[in-house]
Amino acid sequence: MQKIYKLSTLLLSLLLVSCNGGTTSAPTSEPTTSGPQLPEAETNINSSINYQIFVRTFADSNGDGIGDLNGIVQKLEYLENLGVEQLWLMPIHPSSSYHKYDVEDYYAIDKAYGTMEDFENLIVEANKHGISIIMDLVLNHSSNRNNWFIHASA
């Protein structure tokens, strides 16, 4: 019975949100950030030159045989010379698969690819080359090890 109540509440909430007439309210305060201020994308995906990267195989900066975020940083001049304006990164989150499409934690970077600081550095350095970063956010591919999955099946 409790599951039916929760589901009904969720559906009612979605219905009410969708009936707002297309208007949205502005936030009442500025969002807070704990890390460095990162640049916002200034280009349009539909009219720019995009380059998709499978991080694992693109560029290895530390010689362990696995591509990583710092390897991409090392190749930014090359990518800029190609005319690339946006990099589309395949999933970089922790995952038990090589392709990273079964995400375990959407708030972390897979250790084989680097750290959150490495990711933030990639964004800053890419911006210096006029390149934006797009992340492949695969919400419908959550791992059975992801907290969302675990809580939903409890």
Rounded to an integer, what distance in angstroms lies between the CA atom of residue 36 and that of residue 122?
12
The residue among 67 and 139 whose pLDDT is bigger is 67
Residue 114: which region, alpha, beta or left (left: phi > 0; alpha: psi -120 to 50)? left
Is it the case that residue 152 has pLDDT exceeding 60?
Answer: yes
pLDDT of the residue at 47? 73
Is it the case that residue 28 has pLDDT exceeding 50?
Answer: no
- First CA to last CA across the chain, in angstroms? 15
pLDDT-based confidence at 79, cuts 50/70/90?
very high
Model confidence, pTM: 0.65
Q: Give 85-100 pLDDT, tens digit per residue.
A: 999 999 999 888 878 7
pLDDT of the residue at 117? 97
3-state DSSP call for residue 54?
coil
Structure tokens at 27: 């936030």
Q: Give 13-24 pLDDT, tens digit per residue.
A: 544 444 444 444
Comparing CA positions, the residue from 77, 70, 49 lying closest to residue 122 is 70
pLDDT of the residue at 97? 80
For 78-82, what is the mean pLDDT?
97
The residue among 36 and 132 whose pLDDT is bigger is 132
